[in-house]
Chains A and B, each alone.
Chain A
Amino acid sequence: MSLFSAENKKVFLENIWKENPIFRQILGICSCLAVTNLVYNTLIMCIALIVVTVATNVFVSLLREYIPGRIRMITQVLIITVFVTIVDLLLQAFSYEVSKQLGAYVGLIATNCIVMGRAEVFAMKNRPWPSFLDGLGAGIGYSIILIAIAIPREILGFGSICYYPILPQESWIAWNIMIMPPGAFLMLGTLIWIVNASGKKVAQEGK
Chain B
Amino acid sequence: MSEINPIIIFIAAIFTNNILLSNFLGMCSFIAISKTLKASFGLGCAVTFVMSITTTVNWLIFHLILKPLGLEYLYFLIFIMVIAALVQFVEMVVERYSPTLYFALGIFLPLITVNCAILGACLFSIVRNYTFLQSISYGIASGIGWSLAIIGMAAIRQRLRFSNVPKSLEGIGITMIITGIMALAFSGFAGVVSMQ
Contacts and interface: CB of A to CB of B under 8 A. Distances in A.
A166 interface: no
Given A110-B119, A185-B177, A31 B31 contact: no
A113 B119 CA distance: 13
Interface string A168-207: 0000000001001111111011101100110000111111
A88 interface: yes
Contacts of A188: 176
A146 B65 CA distance: 37
B29 to A, nearest CB: 9
Contact of B76 (A81, A116, A206): A81
A29 B25 CA distance: 9
Contacts of B35: 205
B21 interface: yes
A78 interface: yes
Interface residues of B, number: 46
B174 A189 contact: yes
Contacts of B21: 181-182
Nearest to B79: A107
20 contacts: A78-B77, A104-B124, A107-B75, A108-B25, A111-B80, A177-B184, A181-B21, A182-B184, A185-B176, A186-B177, A186-B180, A186-B181, A189-B179, A192-B172, A193-B166, A193-B173, A205-B171, A206-B31, A206-B32, A207-B32
Given A108-B116, A205-B171, 5 more contacts: A31-B24, A33-B24, A81-B76, A81-B77, A186-B176
